[in-house]
Amino acid sequence: MSQLLDPNDFIITRKRKKYRFALFHNSPLCFEFDEWDKAWPVDVVEIGAGTGQFIVELVACHPEQNFVAIDVKGDRLQKGARQAEVQGLANVRFLRARADQIDELFAGNLAAIWLTFSDPFPKKRSAGRRMTHPNFLAKYASALKPGGELLIKHDNLNFFNWTLEQLVAGGWRFNELSFDLHDSELNDDYKILTPYETRWLGEGRITKFVRASLIR
């Protein structure tokens, strides 16, 4: 890690945000894209991890695996990093990077990639920004090792159906599929709640889930 940072060194007007960015940079579990040590073995990555609540709980259940939470906003990730430090979790890292950089970071090494409630970008002209667009699926395929899996949770039925279509067209096989995850008998790991999911379930929305692997 580089030297500790002073929140006042950041040219950000909102004091709370400056403080969170400093917490991110000062945490031994947090890294920028160009700081990442590719020698650290990684099994599972969550893209768009937000505050990291989901992955921290998943990490606690699986000390035998190493995890990385990826998001573009360090002020979000520092929350999960702080929680992981409090719990003494040594098998997780928090990385500020873009989804399209995943193949550069983990070329052919990952056992699993999680996408949890990514932005559905409902307008047709924004389809290329969806995390399950073929361009992104190709990068996930490059990051996963043979037999590696893509796991997706979402509440938006239109987005989920569109995602299933992209997976089929891209040569992915469905290993598990549910249109009502929390009313299924699938693995309890899948049912760990994200902050968004807690909110959506409270509004009566239903979580859909798919676990897929590429047919090679």
For the cut 70, the answer to whether the pLDDT of residue 194 exceeds it is yes
Give me the pLDDT at residue 111, please: 98
Task: Answer with the residue of higher pLDDT: 121 or 23.
Answer: 121
CATH number of the domain that 38 lies in?
3.40.50.150
16 domain residue, yes or no = no
How much is the CA Rg of the chain, to the nearest whole Å?
17
Tokens encoding 61: 């259940």
The band of 52, judged by pLDDT with boundaries at 50, 70 and 90, is: very high
37 flagged as catalytic? no
19 domain residue, yes or no = no
Taking residues 80-108, what's their average pLDDT?
95
Total number of domains constituting the chain: 1
For the cut 60, the answer to whether the pLDDT of residue 1 exceeds it is no
Q: What are phi and psi of 46, to 5 degrees?
A: -110, 125
What gap in Å lies between CA 165 and CA 161, rounded to an integer?
A: 6
Taking residues 97-112, what's their average pLDDT?
95
The HSE-up count of residue 138 (CA atoms within 13 Å, CB side) is 4
Task: Answer with the residue of higher pLDDT: 68 or 9.
Answer: 68
199 domain residue, yes or no = yes
Give me the pLDDT at residue 12, please: 44
For the cut 80, the answer to whether the pLDDT of residue 58 exceeds it is yes
Taking residues 203-214, what's their average pLDDT?
96
What value does the mean pLDDT of the chain take? Answer: 90
pLDDT, tens digit, 9 for 90 and up, residues 160-170: 999 999 999 99
Task: Answer with the residue of higher pLDDT: 16 or 22.
Answer: 22
25 domain residue, yes or no = no
Which of the following is catalytic: 119, 180, 183, 189? 119
For the cut 90, the answer to whether the pLDDT of residue 211 exceeds it is yes
For the cut 50, the answer to whether the pLDDT of residue 196 exceeds it is yes
Q: Give the global pTM.
A: 0.89
15 domain residue, yes or no = no
pLDDT, tens digit, 9 for 90 and up, residues 25-37: 778 899 999 999 9
pLDDT, tens digit, 9 for 90 and up, residues 2-13: 556 555 554 444
Residue 27 and residue 82 in contact, taking contact as beta carbons nearer than 8 Å: yes
46 domain residue, yes or no = yes
Residue 172 CB neighbours (<10 A): 20
What gap in Å lies between CA 140 and CA 166, rounded to an integer?
A: 13
Q: What are phi and psi of 106, to 5 degrees?
A: -135, 50
What percent of the chain is modeled with pLDDT above 90?
81
113 domain residue, yes or no = yes
Domain extent at residue 159: 32-214
DSSP-assigned letters across all residues of 110-127: EEEEEEES-----SGGGG
168 domain residue, yes or no = yes
